[in-house]
Homo-oligomer: A and B are copies of this chain.
Amino acid sequence: MKIETVRGGLCAVKGVRAYGIREGHNGLALIEGKGQAVGMYTASKIKAAPVLFTKRQLNGDGGRIQAIIANSGCANSFTGEQGMRNAEKMAKLAADSLGVNEEEIAVASTGPIGKQLDMELIERQLGHVVKGLTSEATGSTTAAKAILTTDTFYKERAIRIDTGNEERVIISGIAKGSGMIFPHLATATATMLSFIYTDARLSEEILRVCFEDAVANSFNMVVVDGDMSTNDLVLLVSTGQGGEISEGDFKEGLNFVCKELAKLIARDGEGATKFIEARVKGAGSVEDAREVAKAIVRSPLVKSAIFGERPDFMCGRIIAAIGSCTTVSDVDPGRISIGLKGEDEGKEKDKDKDKVLAVKNGEFMDLTGVARELMKDKEIFIEVDLGVGESEATAWGCDLSYDYVKINSS
């Protein structure tokens, strides 16, 4: 199989139309595209009304939908019965305006917690959005922009998979998320929202298996601040109008798109000045590798050390973060090695000056010179080898800067 990035975002999938507008903090997006949907939802014990509503629409694990309506500026979370009625009303408004069944509408919201939706605003904005619906690339882009909150750029990816059997399959997605990012999406988690469309002809069961695998490897491995949202929601919708594809190929393609979107969320973390990738290998199990990788990118001390470009503090704090994973079965300090790599778009490449072995089998190496130099790069890659097994996992995050505090205190 061959994966090729294509233009068009969500609208690269035939039959999908989209549009979105934003007025100040308030945005509304509508995505129209008929198909089999599977959802994954926040693991929070307090789920926002749109999460509960959409989960019910999809019968908890899958169902056909006609459209997704999503707003930013109000999370419709912790809003009681009124909140649930408003989520239902959003679905009815979208259904009526599209002339489809209201039972086939998914709803998502993001914004501050604890206030009710302004339904008049939503109704008025929907009027404009419906008129703007288009299968052109701008449809996807405007929808992706409408759902942003503290994000600084919109997040969109589309790929075409050439299966090698003259069959072509499109997988495309949009996402938002910048703060309150510590997704834990359970069968069916920050507010992160992502809507993914494909034209692959696959059963609901295969869609679900591939979706759970891709989410576990992507959105659930992103940490901006370690705060889990009440509104996280990811939907995968298949129109089934495209080519045939094997489960393995589809899973690989879907993992690619979800990881690209997850990395965009990490890059756009609130106040981020640097992107962090933490790959943990040599772990006793994939679960262990995932826990350690997430602990590293979650640690405020590791994040601060990266913001301050201090490899010595960073490595000590990575060790502390590894140790804090009390459920990890097998940790042997004498077997831990840590490699560091820096990357910077603007920088001239010099293989000897952007990579260093920082810790070797439990011993700190020279953390001045190259180690100090590479920390100035905008992208920091950390590779931890636990040296006790064969499993690995990768997590993504960003540094902790003055701006994170600024954004979230005012």
Contacts and interface: CB of A to CB of B under 8 A. Distances in A.
A381 interface: no
Contacts of A143: none
Nearest to A399: B409
Given A304-B404, A325-B45, A405-B304, A230 B310 contact: no
Q: How many monomers of this chain does the complex have? A: 2
Nearest to A331: B45
Interface in A291-328: 298-301, 304-305, 307-310, 312-313, 315-317, 319-326, 328
Interface class of chain A by DSSP: loop
A interface residue count range (under 10 / 10 to 19 / 20 to 34 / 35 or more):
35 or more
Contacts of A184: 326
A229 B319 CA distance: 9
Contacts of A363: 80
B401 A46 contact: no
Contact of A299 (B80, B227, B325): B227
Which of A227, A362, A407 has the most B CB atoms < 10 Å from its CB?
A227
Nearest to A301: B227
Interface string A312-352: 11011101111111101001011010000000000000000
Interface string A367-410: 00000000000000000000000000000000011101111111
B401 A405 contact: yes
Interface of A: 42-47, 75, 77-78, 80, 112-115, 179-180, 182, 184, 225-230, 298-301, 304-305, 307-310, 312-313, 315-317, 319-326, 328, 331, 333-334, 336, 359, 362-364, 400-402, 404-410
